[in-house]
Amino acid sequence: EVQLVESGGGLVQPGGSLRLSCATSGFTFRDRYMDWVRQAPGKGLEWVGRTRNKARSYTTEYAASVKGRFIISRDDSKNSLYLQMNSLKTEDTAVYYCAREGGYCSDISCYTYFDYWGQGALVTVSS
């Protein structure tokens, strides 16, 4: 059974930092591209960023709203995904989900969706 379990959420002041973790099991983590998606209270879903696998040099991509402040990393030996959030703003308040990509990738392009999600971790940025 595929499982993704986030941890590390909490209350942080504006300008502060927080690190989320996502522990996974039930699939070959090292082969997969993994993502973070967030949802502000009462709002819709927003993609945050992605990490590719070792075959693609662990390259990352980020949404414009978090680029330069958030860093996604992974530890394949621990089957875990991380989100380091720096210079946090009140508008970063959200439930953060880790998600596994499913779908199709070639050397040229990727067409992937999110086939498994964690239960989410609430991050509240407030003074």
Partner 1 sequence: DIQMTQSPSTLSASVGDRVTITCRASQSISSWLAWYQQKPGKAPKLLIYKASSLESGVPSRFSGSGSGTEFTLTISSLQPDDFATYYCQQYNSVWTFGQGTKVEIK
Residue 55 CB, nearest approach to partner 1 (Å)? 20
36 touches partner 1 (CB under 8 A) = no
Identify the three-state secondary structure at position 76: helix
Residue 103 CB, nearest approach to partner 1 (Å)? 7
93 touches partner 1 (CB under 8 A) = no
* Window contacting partner 1 (CB under 8 A); options: 14-22, 68-76, 82-90, 106-114: 106-114
Half-sphere CA count of 51, side-chain side, radius 13 A: 23
For 72, counting Cβ atoms within 10 Å of its Cβ (0-12 exposed, 13-18 middle, 19+ buried), the class is buried
Contact residue for partner 1 among 115, 123, 125, 127 (CB under 8 A) = 115
C-alpha torsion sign, points 49, 69, 98, 27 = positive
Contact residue for partner 1 among 27, 46, 69, 71 (CB under 8 A) = 46
Contact residue for partner 1 among 47, 71, 86, 124 (CB under 8 A) = 47
DSSP run (H or E) holding 34: strand 34-39
- First-to-last alpha carbon distance for the chain, in angstroms, is 40
Contact residues toward partner 1 (CB under 8 A) are 44-47, 61, 63, 97, 102-103, 111-120
